[in-house]
A and B are shown apart, each in its own frame.
Chain A
Amino acid sequence: MRRSRGFSLVETLVALAILAIVITTTIAMFAERTRRLRDASETVLAFQALSNEAEYWRREPFAQIDKADNQTFKSDLDILKPLTPYTTEVKVDSPRTDVRNVTLTIRWAKREAHLGVARADTGGSGLW
């Protein structure tokens, strides 16, 4: 005998629930992809700033490197605008009297990026 009635409310709700799960999963995947792309963009911006800052620290006179009042970022950080609010930190270690390890850090949201520059006292005011 042919069934001629329509769908019951339960059948319709189950169908919509399945559709909702499919849509939610798709959106969640899309959101995850967007989040990863944003993370990559943030990293690219942070490392551009770190790389520029490293260029300054590679050229800082050796005697000035570990002075407490000198340990701030020196380059223009316009590129970091999308990461606002962010903080920067310069940490200088002296494993030997003629070596300084400079660690540059940028922190934003719950992430951080570091770049280290090793400087050796060559006696001159040169690059290395």
Chain B
Amino acid sequence: MVTRRRTRGYTMLEIVVTLAIFGVFLFIIVTLTAEMRRNEKKWPVNFFAHPEVGSVLARMRRDIYDSTARPDNFETYNSSPMTLIVYTINDDGTAETVVWDFTTPGEVHRKAFKATMLSSEWAAHGLPMFTATTESMPSGQEAVRIQATDKEHKLAIDELIVPRPHA
């Protein structure tokens, strides 16, 4: 007995059924992915994974912890949420005035002065928008509140740093 081979292509019904099944699958995947992305937008960027942000915070913590005063102004700088001025003690026991300048978007500049002479300058780029404000603690001490927001203005960093008591 000779069996005749089937040489035709797909019928319309076969193609429609196959595409319908795959279409349903794709629809489910796309819907789930879109939902996931919508949820993700709720979250601020986790800047703690960024080395530049880490180095800014580490330097700032040290300056603030060891500070003995926060002058209202220094040379051409005036203290504001965009400019933090601290008088801080160094490892060698000498003191310097440190100006943290957040006025340029995406950049943070640290300038240290011995008396009025610029002694060191450091800058970091590709950063969120930082601000520094003052907050009163129950002990009467004044803490520096460092905040940073991402490009969508979501608060990503909020850290209270209280200077160490100095005798």
**Taking beta carbons and an 8 Å cutoff, which residues of A are in contact with B?**
3-6, 9, 12-13, 16, 20, 23-24, 27, 31, 34, 37-38, 40-41, 44-45, 48-49, 51-52, 55-56, 59-61, 64, 74-76, 78-79, 81-82, 125-127
Contact = CB atoms under 8 A, between A and B. Distances in A.
Contact of A82 (B22, B43, B143, B160): B43
A55 B32 CA distance: 41
B36 interface: yes
Nearest to A125: B139
Interface stretch (B9-17, B96-104, B110-118): B9-17
Interface string B1-40: 0000111111000100110011001000100110010011
Contact of B160 (A41, A44, A52, A61): A52
Interface of A is mostly: helix
Interface of B: 5-10, 14, 17-18, 21-22, 25, 29, 32-33, 36, 39-40, 42-44, 46, 48, 137-139, 141, 143, 154-155, 157-160, 162, 165
A27 B40 CA distance: 15
A55 B61 CA distance: 14
B139 A52 contact: no
Contacts of A23: 25, 29
The 6 closest A-B pairs by CB, nearest first: A59-B139, A79-B158, A52-B160, A9-B14, A59-B137, A55-B160
A127 B48 contact: no
